[in-house]
Structures are given as C-alpha cells and as structure tokens.
C-alpha cells in the first residue's frame, strides 16, 4: 500500500489519506456505537427500590439512620443497590469485592466527588478533598503526606504521649463531660501538628472555633436536615436566586455560615506567618513550609497550605473522637474483654503510663483496638465518590456522574469475614487463633479508612493516637455503669444521631482512676511532661 502511494502526485496522496482516515473514523464510530448499544441491551435491570416518576427514590432516602437503610438494601438487593434521586443515580456498594473492583481497580474513573454547591460555593468551604481528583487535590494531598506519612507520624509520639496524659487527667476530673475531654484531645493534636498552636484551656479560641466549625459542617451543612441533600446541589441554578426570595432560606443560612467559616480558614495561617516573621513559631506543618519556601512562596502554594492545614484539623476531630468514645462505650459493655487487655498491659507496664515503645509487646490489646475500629466504623458510609464516565459492572450500566457510596459499616459486619458480626470479639484477630492470611483479610483498617486514590491520608496519625488513648485508658481508668440514687443501674443508651460520623450520642458512664496508685501515676506523668 505505501509503495503504491509513492507513485501518486502529492494532492492525490492527501485525498487518499483523508479518505483512509474517514473510513477508519466511520468504522470505529460504528463499532463503538454497536458496542455501546449491545452493552445497553445486555445490561441487567438494576437492583433497588422502585421509584416514583420524576422524584425517583427521593422518599426512600433515609431521614434518620442512613446506615440502617443501607443495611436493609444490602439484605434485600444483594451486593449493589441503585437509587435514583431526582435524576441522579446513587450506587451503594455493600461488598468488599464490589468496592475493590470499582473504587480501587477502576480508581481512575471512580475518584471524583459529587459537586457540593451549598458547602463549597455558597459557604466558601473549599478544601480540595471535597472536589474532583485533579491537580489541586494531588498538590494538597502531597502536602498532607509530608506531615502525615508513616515515617513522620512517629516524630509526634512525644506530643501524643503528652496529650494522652492530659486526656486521662481530664477524664477523671468529674466536672468535665467526657465528650469535651475527648474532642479536646483530638483537636489539640492536630492544632499543634499543623499550626504549632498549643491549647492550654477549654476556652482557647482556636479550639472553640475548630469544634464549632466541625459541628456546623457535620451536623448542618454536609448533613442537611432532613435528608442530607440541599436542593441547590440537585438544581444548581437555584444558587442564582436572591437571598431575600421567599424560599431562599438556604442562601440566608449560607451567608451566616460563610462569615463563620472564612476566618477559621484564613486566621490560623496568618498567625503562623506573623510568628515565623518574629522568629517565635513552634515547629509545625505550616511553619516548616513557610520557612522552606520563603521568597518562592507563590499564591498557589499559599492557597494549598491554607486548605491542606485546615483539612487535617477538620479531618481529625470527629474521626478520632468517634474511636475514643467507642473505646469507653465498649469498655462499659464488655468489661471482661478489656480486663484481659488490662492484664496484658499490667505485665509489661509497671509504675508508669504506657508509651509507643510498649506497642509490640501488647498483641491482645492490638486485637482489642482492631475490634473497636471495626465496630466503631467512624465514617460508616465513607465519603461519596463520583463516576467520571459511563461504566459497566456485573451486567449493570452505571451512568457517568453516578454518586457511589461504599457501605463501610456493612463491610465491617460482613458475616463471611466476621462471624457473629455485632458481637465484640477481639480474639477474631489473634495470631494464636487465626492464620496470618485470615488476620490480614479481616483487618478493619482496609475498609474503615476508605479506598483507592481517595483513601484517608490521616490513617497513621489516627492509628497512633487511638492506640495510645485506648491503651492508656485501659491501663489506668475504670469505666462503669452509673448507679442512680435508688441503687438501680443505668444502662447506657446506644444511639447514633450524627449523619456522617458514627459518634455515639452521650451515654451515661462513670469514669474514675483504677486506684489511688493509678491516680498518682497520671498526676506524676502530668507533672513531668514537657514538650520540646
Ligand atoms: C479513625 C480515624 C479516621 C477514620 C476512620 C477515617 C476515615 C476516612 C474515610 C472513610 C475517608 C473517605 C475515603 C474515601 O473517599 O474513600 C477519609 C478521608 C479523609 N480523611 Fe480520614 N479518617 C480518620 C482520621 C483522619 C485523620 C486523623 C485525618 C487527618 C489528620 C484524616 C484526614 C482525611 C482526609 C483529608 C480525607 C479526604 C481524602 C480525599 O478526599 O482525598 N482522617 N477518612
């Protein structure tokens, strides 16, 4: 063919090339069209609750416990459930296999997030982690990896040990709510690591603001009552209606929230900049980057540092608090399992608080932490992923822009992996009982921290901080049921009202030192603790 072409004149040759290209284009289009049609024809009917015209499954969408609804769909429809919410396809993945196949193996097309106009545009809360998998996200994740990588987190161990000592002290101070103490623990760690900000009291302005904004985000903005969906996120044109319009209360709310959110993003970095200039900054994520970049600091870098820093703080508070609160709750409900962990700790740790150097010597306590994380499932339905292009899976068509939800809590209760899944059984992770392959397959961290390219970057900090909190609480404190004035035991009420995090509602419990001896250990550790 090429030899024949060389004997033609140049213009004929051009026409022939054009003709060839046209033929190829037509044939390729026909093949693609035929394949697309064939795919559509061979798609199976999608399992899920039947919807109504126009609104689809809007009324099937849960208003109270989204995990319960997901569990019912799993039971009724199997590994995958489809919903149609006002034209947007929502796909719930209930099995480990489906999640691995789509969110991990096909991560290139399943790693965007659905647009959240209310939070990002109207409330001006715009961390890259709420957006698509793009360059901005890659830059901000790279910055976060610098502070949160497996090799860096051990450098925070002294700080974690110091703060854990403060946590124990506050938990036994009967005037303070255990929830407040735990939130302070989770917030203090991230504020110090990120901004070099030391929290010294519960009234600390940065601590109070961080808690207020994370509450606002998780209880109001990201989980819009009653269905967790803002109309403006479904009908984006609504963002243009003026605030005074009768049905525009969402815009009026957004204006108020924006006023609260913007200073929370801007001010901490400004303060670090001031301290760096004065030479008084404590070593932190922000000070490190400001000092490294100095003159070469660009507006883009400044923007990324500001948002990456804020993301670490907001990402830490409710997640770490959820695990530590579950630790107390499960100690209350299963004292016998924790007394075995306590015996193990007592054999290793004598006359002092536990430290990270003890970790390798406490294998059963490690199993207890795994079981706490499994049952806690801190972000039970993960964060939503969005599909970039049409896809086919197991005979189902999943259209572009579908919102994909991983039923993490369902996977952490999968009977194939965990027999009697609602029970608290740390032994299911014990190396003397199960082989290494089973232990690996059961490790709840594989699912609890999300998937693929959007997997949680805070996993190492979360693991270290929750381990130390658990081992220290078990070593020194008794958590028991409250006895009322008539001598009756008050059973803890186990409820979860938060839409995004499985943070237990406040439950009745009594927290006190195991003995005078343990009280003294905590007090002495507090006296000798300093931070470099
Ligand atoms: C026990 C504690 C924690 C749990 C269970 C947890 C779980 C998760 C889950 C399930 C996701 C969604 C992943 C996905 O979309 O597939 C996530 C994302 C994220 N987590 Fe965590 N997390 C925890 C602690 C932390 C901490 C301590 C930080 C920060 C220091 C953090 C920062 C983040 C960030 C920034 C994202 C968004 C990642 C992205 O969109 O690319 N998390 N986490």
Whole-number Cα distances in Å, 86 to 62, 122, 510: 15, 21, 47
CA-CA distance, 307 to 125, in Å (whole number)? 9
Query: When comparing pLDDT for 492 and 40, which is higher?
Result: 492
Lookup: tokens for 485: 């004035």
- Compute the distance from residue 245 Cα to the ligand 1 centre, in Å: 37
The answer as to whether 16 is a domain residue is no
Give the pLDDT confidence score for residue 269 in this predicted structure: 94
For residue 117, pLDDT over 50 is answered with yes
Token pair 């004598």 in the structure block, residue: 350
Confidence (pLDDT) at 296: 81
Pocket of ligand 1 (CB under 6 A): 129, 141, 148, 311-312, 315-316, 319-320, 323, 378-379, 382-383, 448-451, 454-458, 461-462, 466
Overall number of domains in the chain: 1
Using the predicted structure, report yes or no on whether residue 15 has a pLDDT greater than 90.
Answer: no
Residue 32: band (very low, low, confident or very high) from pLDDT cuts 50, 70, 90: low
In which residue are the tokens 């938060």 written? 498
Ligand 1: residue of 189, 449, 468 to mutate (most ligand atoms within 8 A of CB) is: 449
The predicted structure's pLDDT at residue 218: 85
**ipTM of the shown complex:** 0.98
Q: What is the pLDDT of residue 222?
A: 83
Question: 19 in a domain, yes or no?
Answer: no
Residue nearest to atom 43 of ligand 1 (CA): 456
Tell me if 33 is assigned to some domain.
no
pLDDT at 39 over 90: no
Percentage of the chain lying above the pLDDT 70 cut: 92
Residue 123 annotated as lining a ligand binding site? no
Q: Rounded to an integer, what distance in angstroms lies between the CA atom of residue 446 and that of residue 96?
A: 10
Mutation choice for ligand 1 from 403, 458, 460, 470, CB with most ligand atoms inside 8 A: 458
Give 268-281 as a 3 state SS string: HHHHHHHHHHHCCC
Q: Please write the tens of the pLDDT for every residue from 174-226.
A: 777 999 999 999 999 999 999 999 888 889 999 999 999 999 998 888 877 66
Cis peptide before 226, with omega less than 30 degrees from 0?
yes
**In the predicted model, what is the mean pLDDT of residues 376-385?**
97
Q: Distance between CA 299 and CA 293 in Å, rounded?
A: 12
Atom of ligand 1 nearest to the CA of 455: 13
pLDDT at position 34, please? 64
Confidence (pLDDT) at 9: 46
CATH of the domain at 169: 1.10.630.10
How many C-beta atoms lie closer than 10 Å to residue 152's C-beta?
Answer: 15
Structure confidence by residue, pLDDT tens digits, 275-308: 999 999 988 899 988 988 877 889 999 999 999 9
The DSSP letter of residue 485 is T
For 72-111, what is each residue's pLDDT tens digit?
Answer: 999 999 999 999 998 999 999 999 999 999 999 999 999 9
pTM recorded for the entire structure: 0.89
Per-residue model confidence as pLDDT tens digits over 503-513: 999 999 999 99
- pLDDT at residue 133, rounded to an integer: 96
Looking only at the bridges linking them, the beta strands covering 391-393 and 80-85 are unpaired
Answer yes or no: is 250 within a domain: yes
pLDDT of residue 16: 55
**CA 150 to centroid of ligand 1, rounded, Å:** 15
Tell me the sheet residues that pair with 52. 56
Q: How far is the CA of 466 from the centre of ligand 1 (A)?
A: 14
- Of 25-34, 103-112, 143-152, least confident by mean pLDDT is 25-34
Confidence of residue 134 (pLDDT cuts 50, 70, 90): very high
Quote the mean pLDDT of the chain.
90
Residue 161's region, left for phi above 0, alpha for psi from -120 to 50, else beta, is alpha
Q: How many CA atoms lie within 13 A of 158 on its CB side?
A: 6
- Nearest atom in ligand 1 to the alpha carbon of residue 408 is 10
Maximum separation of any 2 CA atoms in the chain, in Å: 108
Q: Is residue 30 part of a domain?
A: no
Cβ burial, residue 415 (10 Å; 0-12/13-18/19+): exposed
The neighbouring-strand residues paired with 385 are 404
Q: Which domain holds residue 118?
A: 43-529
Q: Is the pLDDT of residue 260 over 90?
A: yes
At residue 375, the 3 state secondary structure works out as helix
- 239: pLDDT confidence band, cut at 50, 70 and 90? very high
Q: Which two tokens stand for residue 260?
A: 């609260």
Of residues 376, 350, 106, 403, the one with CA closest to residue 228: 403
Residue to mutate, 210, 315, 376, ligand 1, most ligand atoms under 8 Å from C-beta:
315
In a domain, 348, yes or no: yes
Kindly report the protein residue whose alpha carbon is nearest to atom 3 of ligand 1: 319
Decide if 499 is inside a domain: yes
- Residue 333 in domain: yes
From the CA of 9, how far away is ligand 1's center (Å)?
64
User: Cα–Cα distance between 366 and 354 in angstroms, integer?
Assistant: 13
């Amino acid at each position: 063919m090429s030899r024949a072409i060389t004997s033609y004149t140049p213009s004929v040759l051009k026409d022939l090339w054009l003709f060839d290209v046209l033929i190829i284009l037509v044939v390729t289009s026909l093949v693609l069209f035929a394949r697309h049609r064939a795919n559509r024809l061979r798609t199976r009917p999608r399992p899920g609750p039947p919807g109504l015209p126009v609104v689809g499954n809007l009324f099937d969408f849960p208003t109270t416990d989204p995990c319960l609804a997901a569990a019912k769909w799993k039971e009724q429809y199997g590994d995958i459930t489809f919903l149609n919410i006002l034209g947007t396809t929502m796909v719930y993945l209930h099995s480990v296999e489906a999640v691995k196949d789509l969110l991990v193996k096909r991560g290139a097309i399943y790693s965007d997030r659905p647009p959240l106009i209310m939070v990002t545009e109207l409330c001006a809360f715009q961390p890259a982690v709420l957006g698509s998998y793009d360059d901005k996200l890659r830059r901000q994740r790279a910055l976060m990896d610098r502070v949160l990588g497996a090799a860096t987190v051990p450098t925070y161990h002294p700080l974690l040990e110091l703060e854990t000592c403060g946590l124990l002290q506050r938990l036994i101070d009967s005037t303070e709510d255990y929830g407040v103490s735990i939130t302070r623990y989770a917030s203090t760690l991230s504020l110090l690591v990120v901004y070099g900000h030391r929290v010294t009291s519960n009234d600390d302005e940065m601590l109070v603001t961080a808690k207020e904004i994370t509450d606002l985000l998780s209880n109001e903005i990201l989980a819009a009552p009653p269905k967790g969906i803002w109309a403006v996120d479904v009908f984006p044109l609504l963002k243009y209606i003026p605030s005074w319009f009768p049905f525009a209360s969402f815009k009026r709310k957004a204006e108020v929230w924006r006023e609260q959110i913007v200073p929370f993003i801007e001010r901490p970095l400004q303060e670090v900049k001031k301290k760096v200039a004065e030479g008084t900054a404590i070593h932190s994520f922000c000070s490190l980057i400001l000092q490294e970049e100095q003159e070469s600091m660009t507006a883009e870098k400044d923007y990324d540092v500001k948002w990456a820093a804020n993301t670490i703080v907001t990402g830490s508070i409710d997640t770490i608090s959820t695990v530590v609160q579950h630790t107390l709750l499960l100690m209350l409900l299963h004292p016998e399992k924790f007394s075995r962990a306590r015996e193990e700790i007592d054999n290793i740790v004598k006359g002092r608080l536990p430290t990270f150097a003890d970790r390798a010597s406490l294998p059963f306590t490690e199993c207890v932490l795994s079981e706490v994380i499994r049952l806690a499932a801190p972000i039970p339905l993960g964060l939503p992923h969005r599909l970039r292009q049409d896809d086919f899976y197991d005979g189902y068509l999943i259209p572009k822009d579908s919102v994909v939800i991983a039923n993490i809590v369902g996977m952490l209760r999968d009977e194939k992996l965990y027999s009697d899944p609602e029970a608290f059984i740390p032994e299911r992770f014990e190396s003397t009982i199960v082989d290494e392959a089973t232990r690996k397959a059961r490790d709840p961290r594989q699912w609890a921290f999300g998937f693929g390219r959007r997997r949680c970057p805070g996993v190492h900090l979360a693991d270290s901080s929750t381990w130390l909190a658990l081992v220290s609480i078990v070593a020194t404190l008794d958590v028991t049921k409250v006895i009322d004035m008539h001598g009756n035991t008050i059973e803890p009420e186990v409820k979860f009202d938060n839409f995004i995090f499985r943070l237990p509602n406040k439950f009745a419990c009594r927290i006190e030192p195991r003995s005078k001896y343990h009280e003294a250990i905590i007090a002495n550790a507090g006296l000798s603790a300093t931070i470099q």
